[in-house]
Structure 1
């Protein structure tokens, strides 16, 4: 077994309890010297001490031993690539040491950087004509994205709730809609009505609590009707879990909490329709064939892509993916991330990335090897997705999605079969946003970078007007 060191977490637990090392040692039945060695990571955690911590301090043992340092290390490395930090960056040993011995300082540093990043993005997005408050306020989308990423894009309590419900009903995938409809009616007295588009006032789903009726628009296809029922059932039966997950968040307002709970209910719906063990088993067997997974669970292509980002259960993890969805104008409409890839929050993602090319070839999955300015390499799949509704107003309003993983996982995907081997792969040089990208002589540059000056030679014309 891998040795488990918990020094900073143990020290913080002791400080939160207002205890000295001697007082903690007495409660745990060990010596003060041993507590001191544990806090300095000079001794690994034993099962006996772990159980004593769980009993005496009423903490879940998983919260004690869960290792999140990999995500923190990845975040730190990405942050230190920012041109804001000049000079020689700290090496990996320095970063790991800082995370181990000063976790709260590192957390505050990351929060400070994210605040800086958000302010810069607001300035770029809004310009100088808006009020300062709008620049300083962190967007709910950023807060929710960061909240999900801090939780490794995985919520085990929702997974277990979905599994318990599925075990109770023992249903097949093609019976999911009928089963959900029957459960809502028989257990909660909630009826389901399919309503003409014209009568829905632009809504796709309305839960009328006064009449205890869920109204679904005729515009929704069958897969999304099923998804909407599972989403609503989460609020009906598992609102206590949603409240518990968001209880210690820093969302600030009830509106932001409600928006986060909507995303968590979507998470539950995906977990229910694509049960974890069955889904990851088929994913591995099919080498992450998205169409195969969609047909196996009777869900949409986009729902499979979203679900793939959540396979981070401790001891049974799948390939870590990021997911991004944009409209034809480049606006980001959805993003989830279980990797170190920095996903653009607003429009302006790199035109070299074929998430934009996908609009020219609807329905075709476009594989691409990409490299970021810091040298990190990823494999991405981009494809258009149709909106789950039909009307004359939404014709040809496709969205484009991209699913990606670190290059070390690429060979686990069926989509790399037949492509060049690792020694011969050609990587497209992309960036996150022109404002932040430091690449020189990029033919697709649309803005000058904020943190560096490009050369200007009046006797020469380069590929763009920003560089000569």
Structure 2
């Protein structure tokens, strides 16, 4: 069992109560020196102290997940795998202490490395004059927003609660239909909704005119997408105060990032409106996470259901920690989130041994994979191809593959594990995160050596991989 260091949590509870360490210690029945050691992460928190903190200071025990530290730890280890930091990597315990004691500094290091990588890559391609542009050192708006949601665990509590409350008022027999949201927009906001043919060349799916209060939706969209887009518009009209508060607290570096984040937050509201937290969690548990059955119950798409499962991180009501990603045919990860220890690479493509790449050949069926990462963690990984259309014969057709997975420890609660042999080690396929940080030295699918390893090339000895990793 992992030791729990909660120095920042304990200090925050004490300061919130406006108490000295001595008064705080007396309330808990501890010595002042012991409280001081706890606050400075010199000692782990014991079970009796946890219970006492919960009893006297309303500490939410379910909020003390180590998942956030796992994500941050994985990001930090990737930073120090960069050759520019060769020989400087701290030990695992030092990494853990940094994440637990000073997470703000750890986040800053990750952001600094991201800026360095972006600048380095652009320096290799651009003229020296262009490289002096300070804008090149900043993350793109989408990268900045992606990292924001990642470290928020892809769950914004106030926004989720507001969407769930509205769904409870509007849903017909426990399910939201487009007509429910159209009526709400018309009666509450004076917005007229119309479905019409939109230009295929622009790939447009939704357009709102604030002056005329008219919302136009592409008539070619499936019902689940229509409901989602209606929910997005409602979020912009009704949840603006919540969104503004979240944006202000996030302190994004650019206005573009703020605009991107606003769309992301409105999408989060729409997803929570279509798939309200408590009823969705109950459905997931009742069906043992059968994606098709859940999609049918809520009138949602497979992607919407899979994405929502990865966001079930509400305090005291958490679902199974899932990872979720969407990949295009080129291997680019266009959506990603992980509530598990498995973290997606920040740079480079995903592991070619991962079953998400095979999903493009699955023709709409869900394929399964038992996978093991280099750290010994084992997962059930589900993948399926999805096709998005927004027009007729000449309209754009987008092909993606989505993946959803969880630690194999949750197998009994996931129907897709029922007929798999989970006791046989050979049943788990070895996968990595990305070739650039993967330590599997004999993988025949390797596209490049690990960043922190030297290579040797023998012109007289040719193998599948044309170099030997030292």
What is the TM-score when the length of structure 2 is the normalising length? 0.83
Aligned to 2:42: none
Aligned counterparts, 1:403-418, within 5 A: 403-418=404-419
CA distance in 2, matches of 1:98, 1:109: 7
**Quick one: structure 1 residues 12 and 173, their matched pair in 2 at CA, closer, same or farther if it must change by over 3 Å?**
closer
Aligned to 1:55: none
Q: Is the 8 A contact 1:332 1:347 kept in 2?
A: no
CA distance in 2, matches of 1:79, 1:425: 31
Q: Deviations over 1:428-448 (max 9, x none)?
A: 222222233332232222234
Shift of 1:354: 1.7
Q: Is the 8 A contact 2:191 2:213 kept in 1?
A: yes
Q: Is the 8 A contact 2:76 2:95 kept in 1?
A: no
CA distance in 1, matches of 2:124, 2:429: 31
CA distance in 1, matches of 2:459, 2:163: 64
CA distance in 2, matches of 1:243, 1:129: 37
**Quick one: structure 1 residues 151 and 305, their matched pair in 2 at CA, closer, same or farther if it must change by over 3 Å?**
same
**Quick one: structure 1 residues 357 and 80, their matched pair in 2 at CA, closer, same or farther if it must change by over 3 Å?**
same
Verify: 1:108 aligned to 2:105, yes or no: yes
CA distance in 1, matches of 2:177, 2:335: 26
CA distance in 2, matches of 1:438, 1:6: 32
Gaps of 5+ in 1: 52-60
What is the TM-score when the length of structure 1 is the normalising length? 0.84
Shift of 1:460: 0.8
Q: Is the 8 A contact 1:353 1:430 kept in 2?
A: yes
Verify: 1:129 aligned to 2:116, yes or no: no
Shift of 1:241: 0.8
**Quick one: structure 1 residues 366 and 34, their matched pair in 2 at CA, closer, same or farther if it must change by over 3 Å?**
same
Aligned to 2:77: 80
Shift of 1:381: 0.8
Structure 2 residue matching 1:336: 3-state secondary structure: strand
Q: Is the 8 A contact 2:389 2:395 kept in 1?
A: no
Structure 2 residue matching 1:386: 3-state secondary structure: strand
CA distance in 2, matches of 1:251, 1:346: 21
CA distance in 2, matches of 1:321, 1:175: 25
Aligned to 1:58: none
Shift of 1:249: 0.8
Compute the RMSD of aligned alpha carbons.
Answer: 3.5
Shift of 1:404: 1.4
Q: Deviations over 1:230-269 (max 9, x none)?
A: 1110110111111112221131122211211211211111
Aligned counterparts, 1:352-431, within 5 A: 352-393=353-394, 397-431=398-432
Structure 1 residue matching 2:355: 3-state secondary structure: coil
Q: Is the 8 A contact 1:7 1:38 kept in 2?
A: no
Q: Is the 8 A contact 1:119 1:135 kept in 2?
A: no
Shift of 1:221: 1.6
Greater relative contact order (CA < 8 Å, ≥ 6 in sequence): 2
Aligned to 2:155: 154
Structure 2 residue matching 1:392: 3-state secondary structure: coil
Aligned to 1:212: 213
Q: Is the 8 A contact 1:71 1:340 kept in 2?
A: no
Q: Is the 8 A contact 2:352 2:445 kept in 1?
A: yes
Q: Is the 8 A contact 2:200 2:396 kept in 1?
A: no
Aligned counterparts, 1:165-176, within 5 A: 165-172=166-173, 176=177
Mean alpha-carbon deviation: is it higher for 397-406 or for 76-85? 76-85
CA distance in 1, matches of 2:107, 2:397: 41
CA distance in 2, matches of 1:445, 1:30: 57
Aligned to 1:8: 8
CA distance in 1, matches of 2:267, 2:345: 22
CA distance in 1, matches of 2:243, 2:260: 11
Q: Deviations over 1:372-407 (max 9, x none)?
A: 233333221111111152343556531111111122
**Quick one: structure 1 residues 422 and 182, their matched pair in 2 at CA, closer, same or farther if it must change by over 3 Å?**
same
Mean alpha-carbon deviation: is it higher for 113-122 or for 161-170? 113-122
Q: Is the 8 A contact 2:159 2:269 kept in 1?
A: yes
**Quick one: structure 1 residues 347 and 173, their matched pair in 2 at CA, closer, same or farther if it must change by over 3 Å?**
farther
CA distance in 2, matches of 1:197, 1:170: 29
Shift of 1:347: 5.3
Verify: 1:185 aligned to 2:186, yes or no: yes
Aligned to 1:292: 293
Q: Deviations over 1:186-216 (max 9, x none)?
A: 1110000112123995421011001001111
